[in-house]
Copies of this chain bind each other. A is one copy, B any other.
């Protein structure tokens, strides 16, 4: 595992909260040198150090550590989707995916069962997706929804890879 990944996440989380490195170090009770080295990935932090920092950030270890291959991942020509959660309800079953769409390629997907809907929230990039004959477009922060009982497609608009969350809803028969 790469300590640089953990470092980048810590830095991202810290900046997200608008806390300076100095302040976080003081609050967490660790040296500034320690925190600096941790964020750069040049150190191999101790459990105690990680604990102090994450506790102060109010973030669990889960947010720092990239999940090993425990998650099922679906690869396509353009789309890579990892299943985050399955939720079963009296009316429907939901599958929540983390989705990435590579630029330059369009992925076609056959029709699902009647009544199945897809809900996409775009994190980064611009996504064009939906029924193949009438696709929809959404930029970062946007949301798409369509009934996927017809052939549909996914494509990234422009050069940037698209990151998004994908929710599949299968109504109970």
Residue ranges of A at the interface with B (Cβ–Cβ < 8 Å): 1, 3, 6, 8-9, 12-13, 16, 18, 44-48, 50-51, 54-55, 59-63, 65, 67-72, 83-94, 96, 98, 113, 117, 119, 121, 123-124, 140-141, 143, 145, 163, 165, 167, 169-170, 173
Q: Is the CB of A16 within 8 A of B165?
A: no
Q: Nearest B residue to A70 by beta-carbon distance?
A: B60
Question: How many copies of this kind of chain does the complex include?
Answer: 2
Q: Is the CB of B69 within 8 A of A55?
A: yes
Q: Is the CB of A44 within 8 A of B48?
A: yes
Q: Is the CB of B83 within 8 A of A62?
A: yes
- The smallest C-beta distance from A164 to any residue of chain B, in angstroms, reads 10
